Chain A
Amino acid sequence: MPAPCSSSPAIEIRDLCVNRGGAQVLKNLQLTVNPGEVYALLGGNGAGKSTTLAVLMGFLRPTSGTARVTGLDTASEAAAVRGRIGYLPETVALYETLSAYENIAYFLGLSGARPTRSEMDAALDAAGLQAEARTRRTAGFSKGMRQKVAIAMALLREAPVLLLDEPTTGLDPVAAADFNRLVSGLRERGTAILMVTHDLLGAADCADRIGLLAGGVIVEEARPRGEVDLLGLHRRLGEAATG
């Protein structure tokens, strides 16, 4: 297994093509995300966002081109790649019969990690899950609370790369703002974050770069911390989504 190079991008996608069901979903996609950078990938349904995440996690083999995570090829070193990725699906599904602590112990145990209670508390503190909820079964957890548990797992795994799939969909504005602050905090720790989202304002709030994906290619890239025409981007996002 090649050793990851700290100076190389955390995520590096080159000339990535993926065909699914006879259609070309990704067409020579180029994308890099560096350590300590938040990249928001925006696009309409069918733009190829989820396919990109599936390739990065090694669930889908590229038709051509390469995808690397911390220098590891996602197709040939999928298991090692997954060990370096923290993944938050759109809906974080935990085991509802287990508590937050037990869920963390279970999911981390799958990769052989055995965090102590104090380590879990530190991660849950960083994720912002209130202490009284941690021993409760997660059956009654809101989406935001479940996300915080998943973020704590990513922190405990010290994953250099975090993939977020529609993380703020369904969150109320306060919870979404909380989440964006949390993402910013992770960036400070040096985590490379690729966020797939429909939420342009949320992306503008916390992302370093925003890529507009349409028809399997990034048609536009913007840096929200600089000059960016959000309304124009929003309009073009809508146009891309409707083809």
Chain B
Amino acid sequence: MRLGQELRLFLRQRLAVPTLVLLALLSTVSVATGLWEVRRQTETIARIQPLQAEEEKAVSAWVSREGDAGNAAYYTFHATWDPPAALAFAALGQRDVAPYVLRVRALALESQIHEGEAYNAELALSGRFDWAFVATFLAPLILIVLLHDLVSGEREAGRLQALQAAGGSTGLWLRRAGLRLGLAFVALGAPFAAGAWISGAAAGVSLAALGATALYLAFWALVCLGVGALGRSSVANGALLAATWVALTLVLPALAHLLINSTIPVRQGVELTLAQREAVHAGWDKPKDATLNAFFAAHPEWRDTPPVLTGFHWKWYYAFQHLGDLSVADQVAAYRRGLEARDAWTARAGWFLPAVGLQTTLHRMAETDLAAQLAYQDRIRAFHERLRRFYYPYIFNETPFREGDFAKAPRWAEDG
């Protein structure tokens, strides 16, 4: 009954309904664009597979004439892809800036992985307008609009004493705040729930995402109530809350980002590409024996195969390709450790900076975070290992590679 009266009173306020409609609209647009982007990525992945088959057919028609396995391994690209998780529509995260489709060959791998790691500067600057953005940055502003004058508005309207005299106490303000919080949550969460249903997301992870968002909104409601308890005017409350929003969602996360990046320096992925390419290109100038002995040390199973006698041989070529990967192995490990350390510190910062905490949580649930990106890279490395182990017997035993052999090549499975 009381809540019904509060609801009627709230909904008749001049800005209440437009504010909630605005939030619902922003949430709906973000979910719709997220679903559209995920669909686009899924269709791109779907298009890859027939095109891959078509290309293999063309390559095999040419390669199988000579039966040279080196040519087959060199000219055949093998598609890998990372399909979006069901909740990716809500928090696109790294899928904006990191590749979700990568075609690899049995050549040196690390440059193939990292040369695609050039950030989409335009998107990296502005960020994607996804649901996580609306929940993290815009929903608190809506809550501030709804809650900044919860008590001060009544005082300024001359009703505060009358309300208190009529029995309105802490429960009244909590009821009003809870109602506004609940309505804002529904306006924000309902489009998300619809999006999760459309994309077939599991109920558990969808509810967990909504739960994390509810906690985040509750934090902002508490901030609003805390500022309101200072007893200042509505204008002063609004200004103080806006400043708090700027500090907690923009300034402090940016400072934390700068601090983490300067404390944990990480080389760019493109530097790995360059280092590996230099190592590979240097292979052309090194004595073949030195290259092959280094390769055989890593792969002794091919030591007793026929020796390289001519000026160029695929054995030598693939040996120095692989040695290129081995030459940057330590740098790759350090790069990964650095990224993971940054990610871990960002997660820790999330305990103190709710905006960072919510974004990190939503990206984890949507499997669009750094961990998901690195897991895709790990699956690519495992697949590349299978490719090499498939081609090496043909190359090192100098076995002719025929058209039918293409069908035996490893196929990318989404689980690696």
Residues of A bordering B, CB below 8 Å: 57, 59, 79, 82-83, 85, 87, 89, 91-95, 97-98, 102, 105-112, 114, 150, 153
Contacts and interface: CB of A to CB of B under 8 A. Distances in A.
Contacts of B262: none
- Nearest 9 CB-CB pairings of A with B: A111-B167, A97-B12, A93-B158, A87-B165, A110-B167, A93-B159, A107-B166, A110-B166, A110-B168
B162 A87 contact: yes
Contacts of B9: 95, 97-98, 106
Interface of B: 1-2, 5, 8-9, 12-13, 157-159, 161-169, 172
Nearest to A107: B166
B149 to A, nearest CB: 14
Contacts of A106: 5, 9
B165 A93 contact: no
B2 A109 contact: yes
Given A106-B5, A106-B9, A83 B158 contact: no
A107 B13 contact: no
Contacts of B161: 57, 59, 87, 89
29 contacts: A57-B164, A82-B164, A82-B165, A82-B167, A83-B167, A85-B165, A87-B162, A89-B158, A92-B162, A93-B157, A93-B158, A93-B162, A94-B159, A95-B12, A95-B159, A97-B9, A97-B13, A98-B8, A98-B9, A102-B5, A102-B8, A107-B162, A107-B163, A107-B166, A108-B166, A109-B5, A110-B167, A110-B172, A114-B1
Nearest to B13: A97
Contacts, number: 59
Contact of B158 (A82, A87, A91, A114): A91
* A95, A97, A110: residue with the most chain B Cβ atoms closer than 10 Å: A110
A82 B159 CA distance: 15
Contacts of A79: 167, 169
Nearest to A105: B5
A110 B12 contact: no
Contacts of A110: 2, 163, 166-168, 172
Nearest to B158: A93
Nearest to A97: B12
A97 B8 CA distance: 9
Contacts of A82: 164-167
A139 B158 CA distance: 14
Contacts of A83: 167
A183 to B, nearest CB: 18
Contacts of A93: 157-159, 162
Given A89-B158, A97-B12, A106-B5, A112 B165 contact: no
Contacts of B157: 93
A5 to B, nearest CB: 23
Contacts of B162: 87, 89, 92-93, 107, 150
Give the one of B9, B162, B165, B167 with max A CB within 10 A: B165
Contacts of B13: 97
Nearest to B172: A110
A98 B165 contact: no
A123 to B, nearest CB: 15
A112 B167 contact: yes
Nearest to B175: A110
B256 to A, nearest CB: 43
Contacts of A97: 9, 12-13
B165 A57 contact: yes
A83 B168 CA distance: 10
Contacts of A57: 161, 164-165
A105 B2 CA distance: 10
Given A57-B161, A82-B167, A109 B12 contact: no
Contacts of B12: 95, 97-98
A89 B157 CA distance: 12
A238 B163 CA distance: 34
Nearest to A95: B9
Nearest to B163: A110
A106 B13 CA distance: 15
A190 B8 CA distance: 35
A89 B159 CA distance: 9
A135 to B, nearest CB: 14
A138 B168 CA distance: 21
Contacts of B159: 93-95
A110 B172 CA distance: 8
A35 B132 CA distance: 62
Given A108-B166, A111-B166, 6 more contacts: A82-B165, A95-B12, A105-B5, A109-B1, A110-B167, A111-B167
Contacts of B158: 89, 91, 93
